[in-house]
Amino acid sequence: MLREELEEHLRAMITGPMLPFPGSGETATRHLQLMNVAREDISLARLAEAHWDATAILAEAGKTIIADVLYGVWASERPGRAMVLKQDGNDFLLTGPKSFCSGSRTDHRWLARATAYRYGSARESPCGLF
């Protein structure tokens, strides 16, 4: 399947009623919708789930979800091989590998986990990126 076809198929899967957010008390409804998407195409269901998870995180953070944008969440990483975000004054630099993000080429925007070093400090803390 070509990238354009993949995106078109994924868009068709995620259009329609919004998937209930995690923690909303509608877990069964959420799982049923995910199951129905997975019955059609298990690989695309993983991308659809990443999109729905990202939109839930953005909504919870009070951020605007842009229509017609494919989102994804990629938080898994290999031990000792994390992306690193360093701040130097007003500038930020993101470096390092991002493992286990198979849908990142399909997503227009994605959230990922990185280790942040703030203001030259060696103190690590997890942060979300967009």
Q: Per DSSP, what are the bridge partners of residue 93?
A: 86
- What pLDDT shows up at residue 86? 78
Is the pLDDT reported for residue 129 higher than 50?
A: no
Higher pLDDT, 121 or 52: 52
- What pLDDT shows up at residue 28? 92
The HSE-up count of residue 123 (CA atoms within 13 Å, CB side) is: 4
Do 35 and 28 contact (CB within 8 A), yes or no?
no
Is the pLDDT reported for residue 130 higher than 50?
A: no
- The Cα-based distances of 124 to 26, 77, 116 in angstroms read 35, 16, 6
For residue 13, what is the enclosing H or E element?
Answer: helix 3-14
Count of other CB atoms within 10 angstroms of residue 11: 13
What's the pTM? Answer: 0.71
| Domain extent for 39 | 3-129
Count of other CB atoms within 10 angstroms of residue 106: 17
What number is the average pLDDT over the span 108-120?
64
Is the pLDDT reported for residue 88 higher than 50?
A: yes
Q: Is residue 87 helix, strand or coil?
A: strand
- Confidence band (pLDDT; 50, 70, 90) for 101? low
How far, in Å, CA of 78 to CA of 4, rounded?
Answer: 30
Instruction: Give whichever of 9-13, 92-96, 102-106, 109-113 has the largest mean pLDDT.
Output: 9-13
Domain count across the chain: 1
